[in-house]
Structures are given as structure tokens and as C-alpha cells.
Structure 1
């Protein structure tokens, strides 16, 4: 979820571009299959996090909404807090 939202921060993207972004950004640690990706995209669209901007045959391009950007930043804050908790616990 986090990396899919991150993929939209700089530009609109289609499914293939999202998959490539996530694999490149995570250096292969995260690989999205089509079922996972398109389930997330449908969920994000329903929740108002993304909106479809273009349809060219089967290729659909999406854009992050203000609500999606807010959700991304909330998740970023949550993940930062998790890392801090883990670091404190190790001390």
C-alpha cells in the first residue's frame, strides 16, 4: 500500500509503471503481482486516494488526490513511529 501511494508523488502512472517503480524503489524487496496491484488500485479509487486520469485501451492512468497524499503522509508518520519504537526497545 505504502509504495503504491508513493509511486504517485511525482506524476500520474499506469499499472505497469507502478509495478516497475515499486520494484526499483525497493531494490526488488517488494514485487507486486497484477492481482494485488489492481485490488489496491480499486480500493484506493473507492476511498478517494486516486482518480483515473486517462484510459487508452486497457491502459489506465491514475493520479494521487489530496486525500491520497494525506493518507501517504499519515502512513509515513506511522512507519516512522514504528521504527522509533523498535530502536528504543533495542536499547
Structure 2
């Protein structure tokens, strides 16, 4: 599926896709991510637009319209699958870590 193109997502990739569950323009994406992560993750414009271009070429996001020279993007069905798969991968990673730590405490 979508996982074939991107084996794992970087933190900026994940947050961009997460924010694009709702329609958003580039600057809005940067603001939402900074707000969501309380400033822990800050994505520069160069990184953002390079990733938006890549995601659009791969069919993960699409431009839905343009308002006042701002391109508005949203996640495609393929993008939603990729986001879900990444969240499942991260959950398993955390579960493995918790199980391992629990085992160490019981020794």
C-alpha cells in the first residue's frame, strides 16, 4: 500500500500529514504543528514545501483550491492510509518498549 513508498515517516512528515486531515495552506500547516507540539516541532518553509511537493507527486496529498495565492491542501485516501499505518507502527513500537521494560522490572 502507501507504506511501500515511505517505509517510516520522519517527525515533520508525520505532523504534516496529521494536520492535513483538515484543509490547510502552507503557513497554516507550520502554525498548527507548532501549536500542536507546543513549539517542540518547528518546520521551516523549505522543508515544508519540499515535503508538500513530494507528497503531492506521490498522491498522498492534493491541492483542493487556491485562495489569495495560497494553495490549500488536504490528505487523500492514500495519505490517510499512510498516516494510519504509521500510527499503528508507532503504537507497536511503544508496546514493544513497554513489554520489554516490564520484563526487566520482573527480573
TM-score, with structure 2 as normaliser: 0.78
Q: Which moved more, 1:51-60 or 1:72-81?
A: 51-60
| Secondary structure, counterpart of 2:29 in structure 1 | helix
Q: Deviation at 1:29?
A: 0.9
Gaps of 5+ in 1: none
Question: Which deviates more from structure 2 when the two are superposed, residues 55-64 or residues 31-40?
Answer: 55-64
Give RMSD over aligned pairs.
Answer: 1.2
1:5 aligns with 2:17: yes
Which has the larger Rg?
Answer: 2
CA distance in 1, matches of 2:100, 2:50: 35
Asked if 1:71 corresponds to 2:82, the answer is: yes
Name the CA distance, whole Å, in 1 between partners of 2:39 and 2:58: 28
The 3-state SS of whatever aligns with 1:30 is coil
5+ residue gaps, structure 2, are: 1-12, 103-107
CA–CA distance in structure 2, aligned partners of residues 24 and 83 of structure 1: 24
2 CA distance for matches of 1:50 and 1:31?
20
* TM-score normalised per structure 1: 0.91
User: Corresponding residue for 2:51?
Assistant: 40
CA distance in 1, matches of 2:87, 2:46: 24
Equivalent residues, number: 90
| Shift, 1:74, TM fit | 0.5
